[in-house]
Chain A
Amino acid sequence: MIRSKRELTKAVVIVSPSIVLVGVFVYGFILWSLRTSVSAWEGIRPDYTFVGLRNYINLFQSTRFQIDLWNTAYFTVFFIALCIVLGFLLAFLINRDVRGEGVFRTIYLFPMALSFIVTGVVWRWMLNPTFGVNILLANLGLPSDWGWYTDPTRIAGFHVALTSLILAASWQFAGYTMAIYLAGLRSIPHDVIESARMDGASEVLIVRKVILPMLRPITLSAVIVLGHISLKIFDLVMAMTGRGPRFATDFPGVFMFETTFTGNRYGEGAAISIVMLLMVALVIIPYLVHTFRKEDQ
């Protein structure tokens, strides 16, 4: 693409400021966190005495962090699954030329315009066991003694209290998956579906064998976007539930914030953030490699 040396110089000059900025403020600080995470820094004054993997070992031995990792895993799986299923259903229904499509689309997409803080505060009140949705259920004669996010029960390591967070987060992001699925559905050529129909395929079969496979790239990007949101989740938890009973709704981000900025334990805090970075990298890097490979072809 680059034809002459002059053009190369021009390109370098144009992108170098952003390379420098990203280099310093992203990669530089990642390296700095890495260094802090293997240091003895506790208290305000930076102390870079090398302690090897001590912070990491302490971290993985701490019950709270183990709970955090399980919570992250469960939350990620259920949050992504719910968003994708709901998003696809909504998109599929709206795509059938319903009347007032624009209105519905806007309504479903609206929650995404809110910040997690707003969502968190609203859902915190709605799911409050004393004066929240339980009252409504009681008036309807339904079981109404749900603890929601105050419920300390665990089923196979899954904290029931997490369901409240999963509900709130999915409420916010199902609209987003709907929007990208809708775009995906619109880009499927009509003749493909028509010809399947002519061949006598049922609607269910068309969805399973034609539509879903063609939407695979959409699903992949939805998983990536939602996945990195859920692995880094922090603001929703802070606004909605806090650490929860016995850390039932605790996440690495919350633990990191409390360790570093409430407890002044910078070394351990940095170790948590590095673990979080690795978790996100596990999702993002394969995706990037995959995309670049495709572009090269």
Chain B
Amino acid sequence: MNTRRLVLFVAMVLLLLVPMAAQARGAAEEPTEEGLEIVTWWTAGGEAEALAALIDIYRERYPDVEVMNSTVAGGGGSQARGVLASRMVGGRPPDTFQVHGGAGIIGTWVVDDFMAPVTHILEDNDWLDVFPEDVIDIISYEGEIYSIPVNIHRSNVMWYNTAVFEDNNLAPPQTLDDFFSVAQELQQLGITPLALAGTDGWEPTHLLESVLLAELGAEAYRGLWDGRTAWDGTQTREALATFIAMLDYINPDQSAITNIDAAEYVAEGEAAMTVMGDWVHGFYLAIGLTPGEDYGWAPTPGTGGNFIMLTDTFGLPIDAPNPGNVERWLTLVASREGQDTFNPIKGSISARTDADRDKYDVYLLSAMDDFARDSIVPSVAHGAAAEVGWMSRINDAVTFLVEDKDIDAAAAELQSLADQYAR
């Protein structure tokens, strides 16, 4: 009796296990056949919608492919990068992932042989000419392109409250000298001239990159990242001095606020200006402000004619399980339709020069015009100019600079970092 029961039990367990095992095998194999896993850190309203719209087109074109949208929330991408690092090193990379174009992908992934070149995608479609040369430069390494830019954001934008300027008969500053005279007047009126954030550590660097560009010009600014321009040279030190002088005009709670808080100070008229990337435009639209009426924009004082860019790109990991699907994805990303679907929703401009202007709003059109005309240089605060190791240490040095205001110490530290990292 007892033995029979045992046999029966074992038989039942086996019966249960067989289909489960079969299912598990099926589940493990399915994505390697026809999936596409995309890892991003786009969680907020506009950006998540923009990605969804792009994925919708992909699904329409390739209905058999099961697209998996893996979003990793948090930390401006630092959480996503952590997850990504363990998957890439562990040999189980996603099919493609969002990564900052420039040093963000080259220094982290390309140099260490994790990525396959994707030059042929642009070549085969004759698209090498529709992307500006400066952009191609930034995404290339040793003659090959390693990622496809899906958008362009601008870093050197000064956002200002139109009412504050009009009510006080002031004009938005165009040069650094303008800035200081306007700032002085605003301060006397009891308005914080410049809103600056700091909680996440990179915001002061974001302002500094504009000031560096204003003082050095585009060519010398580029030289900071490949060792041609000295960080402790006269011009760079002047830029550091200007940066420090600007700090006399910022909000006292700088270290406690985020870049969106700073933008809000400007929206409410508590502060007159803030220097931040053009995602601020998306934020202003979201809180119901009218571009041109409630708020205005201009290149950061002294940087007119120059465009500090950052770009989100997608690449092809060498071990990607579905390289064919990735190539089709990258082709869609690079296409005019793909760019013009994604960017108006995300609040950024197309990386191509042939965008359909009807789809973009007044700010984006002005950014587009500048992008076509200006010298384009990479942003450091957002991983385009310097690899993350360098970037994080620049952020630390700038955090000290903001409080200590010690130019000698900062210049020496920044130069020693450049000695270590610039190439």
Chain A interface extent, by class: 20 to 34
Q: Mark A162-195, 1 if CB is under 8 A from B, else 0.
A: 0000000000000000000000000000000000
Q: Which of B162-170, B341-349, B386-394 contacts A (4 or more CB under 8 A)?
A: B386-394
- Most A Cβ at <10 Å: residue of B107, B254, B396, B402: B396
Rounded to whole Å, the gap between the CB of B153 and the closest CB of chain A is 19
Q: Verify A129–B389 contact, CB threshold 8 A.
A: no
Chain B's closest residue to A246 (CB) is: B403
Chain A's closest residue to B85 (CB) is: A44
Contacts of B190 in A (CB 8 A): none
**B residues neighboring A (CB under 8 Å):** 75, 78-79, 81-82, 85, 88-89, 107-109, 111-114, 198-201, 251-256, 387-389, 391-393, 396, 399-400, 402-404
Q: Verify A241–B389 contact, CB threshold 8 A.
A: no
* A55 beta carbon closer than 8 Å to chain B: no
Q: Verify A44–B89 contact, CB threshold 8 A.
A: yes
Q: Verify A246–B389 contact, CB threshold 8 A.
A: no
Q: Complex Cα distance A150/B201, Å?
A: 14
Q: Verify B392–A263 contact, CB threshold 8 A.
A: yes
With A44-B114, A129-B252, A245-B403 already in contact, the answer to whether A263 and B391 are too (CB < 8 A) is yes
Q: Verify B201–A258 contact, CB threshold 8 A.
A: yes
* A130 beta carbon closer than 8 Å to chain B: yes
Rounded to whole Å, the gap between the CB of A257 and the closest CB of chain B is 8
Task: Name the one of A124, A242, A247, A263 contacting B388, with C-beta atoms under 8 angstroms.
Answer: A263
What would 22 A/B residue contacts be, using CB atoms closer than 8 Å?
Answer: A42-B389, A43-B389, A44-B85, A44-B108, A45-B114, A46-B89, A63-B400, A130-B251, A150-B254, A241-B255, A243-B255, A245-B254, A245-B402, A245-B403, A246-B400, A261-B81, A261-B82, A263-B388, A263-B391, A264-B387, A265-B389, A265-B392
Interface residues of A in 105-158 (CB under 8 A from B): 124, 128-130, 147, 149-150, 152
Interface residues of A in 248-263 (CB under 8 A from B): 248, 258-259, 261-263
Contacts of A246 in B (CB 8 A): 399-400, 402-404
Rounded to whole Å, the gap between the CB of B110 and the closest CB of chain A is 11
Contacts of B255 in A (CB 8 A): 149-150, 152, 241-245, 248
Q: Verify B253–A64 contact, CB threshold 8 A.
A: no
With A43-B111, A64-B396 already in contact, the answer to whether A261 and B78 are too (CB < 8 A) is yes
Rounded to whole Å, the gap between the CB of A161 and the closest CB of chain B is 8
With A243-B399, A245-B403, A246-B403 already in contact, the answer to whether A262 and B392 are too (CB < 8 A) is yes
With A44-B88, A44-B112, A246-B399 already in contact, the answer to whether A150 and B256 are too (CB < 8 A) is yes
Q: Verify B253–A129 contact, CB threshold 8 A.
A: yes
Rounded to whole Å, the gap between the CB of A124 and the closest CB of chain B is 8
Q: Verify B402–A242 contact, CB threshold 8 A.
A: no
Q: Complex Cα distance A92/B22, Å?
A: 64
Task: Name the one of B114, B253, B393 contacting A150, with C-beta atoms under 8 angstroms.
Answer: B253
Contacts of B387 in A (CB 8 A): 264
Q: Complex Cα distance A46/B90, Å?
A: 11
- Most A Cβ at <10 Å: residue of B88, B109, B112, B256: B256
Q: Verify B252–A243 contact, CB threshold 8 A.
A: no
Rounded to whole Å, the gap between the CB of B84 and the closest CB of chain A is 9
Task: Name the one of B89, B201, B253, B404 contacting A242, with C-beta atoms under 8 angstroms.
Answer: B201
Q: Complex Cα distance A247/B403, Å?
A: 10
Rounded to whole Å, the gap between the CB of A36 and the closest CB of chain B is 13
Q: Complex Cα distance A42/B391, Å?
A: 13
Rounded to whole Å, the gap between the CB of A208 and the closest CB of chain B is 42
Chain B's closest residue to A63 (CB) is: B400
Task: Name the one of B112, B256, B396, B399 contacting A129, with C-beta atoms under 8 angstroms.
Answer: B256
Q: Verify B399–A242 contact, CB threshold 8 A.
A: no
Contacts of A130 in B (CB 8 A): 251, 253
Q: Verify B199–A263 contact, CB threshold 8 A.
A: no
Contacts of A128 in B (CB 8 A): 253, 256
Chain A's closest residue to B202 (CB) is: A262
Contacts of A258 in B (CB 8 A): 201, 392
Q: Verify B108–A43 contact, CB threshold 8 A.
A: yes
Contacts of A241 in B (CB 8 A): 199, 255-256
Q: Verify A263–B393 contact, CB threshold 8 A.
A: yes
Q: State the 3 A-B residue pairs at the shortest beta-carbon distance, nearest first.
A: A263-B392, A246-B403, A245-B255
Contacts of B85 in A (CB 8 A): 44, 261, 264
